[in-house]
Amino acid sequence: MAFKSFTEYLLLEKNYSALTVNAYQTDLKNFLDFITAKYETNTINKVNYPQIRSWIVSMVESGLSNRSINRKVSALNTYYKFLLKIGEIKTNPLSKHKALKTSKKIQVPFSENEVMTVLNELHFENDFEGIRNKLIIELFYSTGIRRIELVELKLTSVNLDNKTVKVLGKRNKERIVPLLKPVVQTISKYLISRNELESIIDDDILFLTKKGIKVYETLVYRIINDYFSLASAKVKKSPHILRHSFATHLLNQGADLNAVKELLGHSSLAATQVYTHNSITELKKVHVKAHPRSEK
């Protein structure tokens, strides 16, 4: 099967993270195990839609959420699209499949007060890890970049003279994001501390562990979760929620939706408009204050 070339396609052409690729591989293996056991075949290329449908039914009956099932089917669909692209199959058995209905998850951003509490009131050690951790939080909140984008930042991505950072987003699309003055100051402080590490292995990477290797996604998640657990009672405390907070707070302050779209690296306004739901309270205030027919 074309699993190896598919993995290379996801990593190199689609620019998916290693974690995402691993998830795709797991989903494909689960499907392969299912059809091998039920239909005594180990060739995904020759499976038809009714067989795929029986896999979906088995997952529903096992109690797996519709969202998780849709993700697994999406991985399989991506694989079939790849096989079409390289000419291994002529039709995609999932071409007419409709995803299972799911309820929309409400992403609750941090309040401005919660973010300010973390940045201005919590204690960060004045050592390499303390400076790095504060910079990671500042960078997430001031630029809205994704976790994988932060992990992959290089030393050359940052231009302190121009106060900008070059971010490599999805599908290898680059964007330039401005840096606030306090963030530039923290970067300068971090770079001094970084240069004092005993050993630097990944010397082209911006964010390192104290062992001199590139930070990894779970570490970045843990940093955000640990610090925000001290300032917020929200259930989910992650880099993605900090990205939501960045967008929501900008929109609350009257930022243009198109400008926020560019900062976030979204390909369409539809993706950015999700954040307007979080800003509805502020929008109501503006509406009441500005509309000629409102009761002042």
What amino acid positions are annotated as catalytic residues? 146, 170, 240, 243, 266, 275
- Three-class SS string for the chain? CCHHHHHHHHHHHCCCCHHHHHHHHHHHHHHHHHHHHHHCCCCHHHCCHHHHHHHHHHHHHCCCCHHHHHHHHHHHHHHHHHHHHCCCCCCCCCCCCCCCCCCCCCCCCCCHHHHHHHHHCCCCCCCHHHHHHHHHHHHHHHHCCCHHHHHCCEHHHEECCCCEEEEECHHHCEEEEECCHHHHHHHHHHHHHHHCCCCCCCCCECCECCCCCECCHHHHHHHHHHHHCCCCCCCCCCHHHHHHHHHHHHHHCCCCHHHHHHHHCCCCHHHHCHHHHHCHHHHHHHHHHHCCCCCC
